[in-house]
Amino acid sequence: MVNNMATQLNPPFDASISLGDLGIAESLSKCIEPKLEELKGKRIVFSRDDKKMIPIDGWGVRSDLNPTTVTTIRPIKENALVAAIDSSSVKLAETEEGGLYGTKCGIATAYAGRALMHFKIGPVLFYLSESSIQDSELEERLARLTLLDDDFAKRLIRVRAERAVQKELASHLTNSIILVDGSLKASAFEDRERSIGKIAESCVLRKNTMIGISKGTKFKVLERAAYPLTKVPGPAYIEVDMIIKSLIRNTVGSNSMIKLEKNSPVLRSDIVGDRSESLGMLLGNDPVAGGYPETLRLAHYISIFTSTEMTCLRSHVLNSYDVTELAADDIRRTLLGSISI
Amino acid sequence: MKILSKSGNELLLLAMKDDSAAKGDYLLIEDRSRSMIVQVYDEEYLSSQALVEDIVKEEVVNASSMENLHDPLNIGSLSRLVRDARIFRAKIRASVNDGKLSSDVTWLPSRVESRIRRLAMKELDSFLGRQGIFSIPLGRTSDGEEFEIYAEDLDGKLTIITGKKESGKSHLSKILVKTLVQHGAFVVIFDLNNEYNGIGWNRDGTPSSVHRQVKLLEPGKTLRFSLNYCGKGAVSGMLKNALDMPAASLREFFRIWDWLENKQSLSMDAIGNAVNTWNINELVRDALVSRYHVIQSSRLFADNGLQFEDMISAGSGGAALVIKMDEVSPTVRRMVVELVLSKFVDLLERQVIPPIFLFAEEAHLYIRDTYWEDIITRMRHFGIYTTFITNQPDAIGDAIYRQVDNIFLFNFTNDGDLEKISKVSLADNDTIRSIVRTLPQRHCLAIGKAVCDLPVVIRVAAAEVLMFGETKKFFKK
């Protein structure tokens, strides 16, 4: 009877079972070849929090491009307005049917090398549900994804808000420089009337220049191509149209890798207008600090949501839309516990 | 206002821009049938790292370029509200259960349901049951409500008025003296700066309501005693404590006194003759002669001196006996104090006079150290109720603070003074340090029996009487 009891209390398999017996380690090592031996002798940059890290002095790899393709940018002392645009979006709340998102846009202007004024637009709220998505002219599959994925929804709102501002600036300014954060690439989220193509068209018609500046690029080949810029003492650019056009479609304007100051990072730039003249006008009219235009930096700062604004938005929603706040919990925290190191 | 948190006997209250409360104000937190009385003792901004960063960032951005806003939801105004939000730190003082004040503050009011409102002084008084017959209007509270204490709160009590120079201490003490006299009390004032004589006059120079009741006593002039009236005890106390006469010399003095008294020829001249001819050791004679000359030069003794009981019975509607001590030497001051206090104790012991109120400015300058506790403990039983007025809180010993019933605290900014007063006062350290440091001129924090142990900030009323004793200045405005 004692023996029977022991049998009943035992687990279905022996407690001393090892991973080796299950063959998990072997299977894991075969799922993809680790090839760690190839790391030997490589120069590495560790990633931090999924952020794009770049080596301060570049990768030091040789470029196949001829060094003569590097063009020096000379500041043009001809006064023109620089208007930089940036935007951000956040998810504020969720309902059973959709999500409530907020967006903010910032426009910072400079003239003759001095900051002029800045405009804060928003926060503006958007409630994305099935009905609002249907009216957005989005392709059906994308519309459904937008409702399912917060990142898609935030991107939709940000792209549309930013394009709306860009379109208005392009249609109202003349002989000005419109600076955009990021590349000038058509997005699946933009609406037909305010597409990047239409904005570029308006720019050309009103003799405006549009420059999109990206802080980082996913294409390692571009970093290699921009290597000669690290050796140039002053502001300069390298044309990379061939590389970009072969990798992605739907870009607008000419593509370059630029360096705006001595010892500053190399940035990707898409330009609608004459490349040399546009960059020269930019340097002549917008103060540059740390290799990045001040207007674009300011536009970024004024467009991001502060924690106070988030608090105020919550209060506004509760007070203005007759909603009932439900008690909620962080599901990851609930399930995974609160062990923090 | 909303409750944010509680720690010990302290509540943190969140207040928006329109919620007003000053340091010292009382708030009532109502939670269903129960209420809690708390007192605001400090105010600060609602501050978090993120909020500070937002403010700094905005200022930097606005300094670099001009701002234009398009804020359709008017979130900016909400944001400004958040940035202006304040935290009131409040001490829990009491609770109210079914309309009755209770010291049971072990319960927590609801953060959600509680309503917080300012408590008017009248309402607080009704909870406290603070009432009396002989009111002393002191001024107003921060709400502008009239505030009064009652003469009964000073009767039989030890009171201290302290604060830094020119903060309004004398001003308050004059209000107390004048009102006590109006209520028929007898007040003796050791006036170091010749300022209390002004009680008899209004600011416009006309006689005040207590003009006839103010008696100015100048040592050597209007304040002179006969030796018989003072008695051997008072004189020996004066010799011993004010003139430091050694015991051996004192014994010889007693023999001379007794001999002259038996002969019924006790006078200053007779004592002088006796000292010179008495058969004593020469060192003792020297000690007696030197003291005799000090007494002679003080002119405190005469054949026909005043009698306090006569003055008091003459002023049956109350009197202020202002003993002017500004023009006499420190030794004579000590002699005067010894004689006056000894005589009053004698009169009170024999129940010849009613109890008196004693106001002593900067008493450490003329009352010897060992005498303090005597004043506090023994004299209270005889019927001398003392009010000390000083700008040096450390001049008063801890033993006296422990006996104190009422403290009127004016502004102190010096950390040492605040440290001292917060250690010994009747209210908690946080309240004292925070409120007293920021009190404006002529505002005081009243603590003790007069306010039923709930500290109250008072703006002392403007003086109706003539202000003497102000600092003489070379450069006149």
pLDDT confidence of A1, banded at 50, 70, 90? very low
Q: How far is B102 from chain A (nearest CA, A)?
A: 37
Domain boundaries, chain A: 67-307
Q: How far apart are CA B237 and CA A123, in angstroms?
A: 84
Closest B-chain CA to A295? B65
Return the minimum-mean-pLDDT range out of A35-49, B346-360, B412-426, B430-444: A35-49
Return the minimum-mean-pLDDT range out of A99-103, B157-161, B277-281, B399-403: B399-403
Asked whether residue A325 carries a pLDDT value surpassing 60, the answer given is: yes
Q: Are strands B186-191 and A114-128 parallel, antiparallel or unpaired?
A: unpaired
Q: How far is A293 from chain B (nearest CA, A)?
A: 14
Asked whether residue A227 carries a pLDDT value surpassing 50, the answer given is: yes
Kindly determine whether residue B67 and residue A120, on different chains, have CB atoms separated by under 8 Å.
Answer: yes
Any CB–CB contact under 8 A between B69 and chain A? yes
B282-298 vs B330-349: helix axis angle to the nearest 10? 90
Q: How far is B61 from chain A (nearest CA, A)?
A: 7
CB-based burial label for B360 (10 Å; 0-12, 13-18, 19+): buried
Kindly determine whether residue B71 and residue A108, on different chains, have CB atoms separated by under 8 Å.
Answer: no
Choice between A4 and B102, residue whose per-residue pLDDT is larger: B102
pLDDT confidence of B370, banded at 50, 70, 90? low
Report chain A residues whose CB lies below 8 A from the CB of B54: 306-308
Instruction: Identify residue B170 by its one-letter amino acid code.
Output: S
Asked whether residue A2 carries a pLDDT value surpassing 50, the answer given is: no
Q: Which of B213, B35, B218, B4 is nearest to B111 (CA)?
A: B4
- The CA-based angle A89-A94-A100, given to 5 degrees, is 40
Kindly determine whether residue B65 and residue A312, on different chains, have CB atoms separated by under 8 Å.
Answer: no
- Which one of B69, B70, B78 has the shortest CB-CB distance to A315? B78
Instruction: Identify residue A287 by its one-letter amino acid code.
Output: P
Closest B-chain CA to A108? B65
Residue B87, pLDDT score: 94
Buried b (16+ CB within 10 A) or exposed e, B291-306: bbebbeebebbeeeeb
Kindly determine whether residue B64 and residue A306, on different chains, have CB atoms separated by under 8 Å.
Answer: no
CATH number listed for the domain at residues A67-307: 3.30.2170
Asked whether residue A171 carries a pLDDT value surpassing 70, the answer given is: yes
- The helix (run of H) or strand (run of E) holding residue B165 is none
Q: How far is A326 from chain B (nearest CA, A)?
A: 16
Residue A67, pLDDT score: 45
pLDDT for B317-331, tens place per residue? 889 999 998 888 989
Asked whether residue A287 carries a pLDDT value surpassing 70, the answer given is: yes
- The helix (run of H) or strand (run of E) holding residue B195 is none
Kindly determine whether residue B61 and residue A302, on different chains, have CB atoms separated by under 8 Å.
Answer: yes
Residue B472, pLDDT score: 64
Mean pLDDT, all residues of chain A: 82
DSSP state, residue B140: E
Asked whether residue A13 carries a pLDDT value surpassing 60, the answer given is: no
Choosing among A101, A301, A308, which should be mutated to test the B contact, i.e. which has the most B CBs within 10 A? A308
Is residue B457 within 8 A of residue B408, CB to CB? The reply is no
Using DSSP's 3-state secondary structure scheme, residue B160 falls into strand
Q: How far apart are CA B170 and CA A282, in angstroms?
A: 72
Stretch A259-265: mean pLDDT, rounded? 86
pLDDT confidence of A87, banded at 50, 70, 90? very high
pLDDT for B233-267, tens place per residue? 889 888 988 888 899 899 999 999 999 989 888 88
Tell the residue number behind the tokens 């439900």, with chain if given. Answer: A326
Return the minimum-mean-pLDDT range out of A121-135, B169-183, B238-252: A121-135
- Which one of B51, B61, B71 has the shortest CB-CB distance to A118? B61
CB-based burial label for A143 (10 Å; 0-12, 13-18, 19+): buried
User: How many beta-carbon contacts under 8 Å exist across A and B?
Assistant: 69
Is residue A59 within 8 A of residue A230, CB to CB? The reply is no
pLDDT confidence of B151, banded at 50, 70, 90? very high
pLDDT for B94-126, tens place per residue? 998 887 888 888 888 998 889 999 998 888 888
Helix spans in A32-81 (H):
none
Name B188's Cβ contacts closer than 8 Å, sequence gap at least 6.
B321, B323, B340, B344, B356, B357, B358, B359
Stretch A266-290: mean pLDDT, rounded? 90
Residue B469, pLDDT score: 61
Return the minimum-mean-pLDDT range out of A19-28, A247-256, B58-67, B200-209: A19-28
DSSP state, residue B278: S
Name B261's Cβ contacts closer than 8 Å, sequence gap at least 6.
B232
Choice between B395 and A258, residue whose per-residue pLDDT is larger: A258
As a 3-state breakdown, chain A gives helix, strand, coil percent values, each rounded to 5, of 40, 25, 35
Kindly determine whether residue B61 and residue A115, on different chains, have CB atoms separated by under 8 Å.
Answer: no
Instruction: Identify residue B118 by its one-letter amino acid code.
Output: R
Within 13 Å of residue B137, how many CA atoms lie on the same side as its CB?
A: 8
Kindly determine whether residue B66 and residue A312, on different chains, have CB atoms separated by under 8 Å.
Answer: no
Choosing among B2, B73, B83, which should be mutated to test the A contact, i.e. which has the most A CBs within 10 A? B73
Choice between A219 and B362, residue whose per-residue pLDDT is larger: B362
Residue A6, pLDDT score: 47
Report chain B residues whose CB lies below 8 A from the CB of A125: 73
Choosing among B46, B56, B65, B77, which should be mutated to test the A contact, i.e. which has the most A CBs within 10 A? B65
Return the minimum-mean-pLDDT range out of A52-61, A249-258, A304-313, B299-308: A52-61
Is residue B81 within 8 A of residue B16, CB to CB? The reply is yes
Q: How far is B86 from chain A (nearest CA, A)?
A: 15
Asked whether residue A191 carries a pLDDT value surpassing 80, the answer given is: yes
Mean pLDDT, all residues of chain B: 87
Any CB–CB contact under 8 A between B49 and chain A? no
Kindly determine whether residue A124 and residue B73, on different chains, have CB atoms separated by under 8 Å.
Answer: yes
Q: Which residues, listed in sequence order, are joined to residue A87 by a DSSP beta bridge? A: A105
**Would the CA dihedral through A310, A316, A321, A324 be positive or negative?**
positive
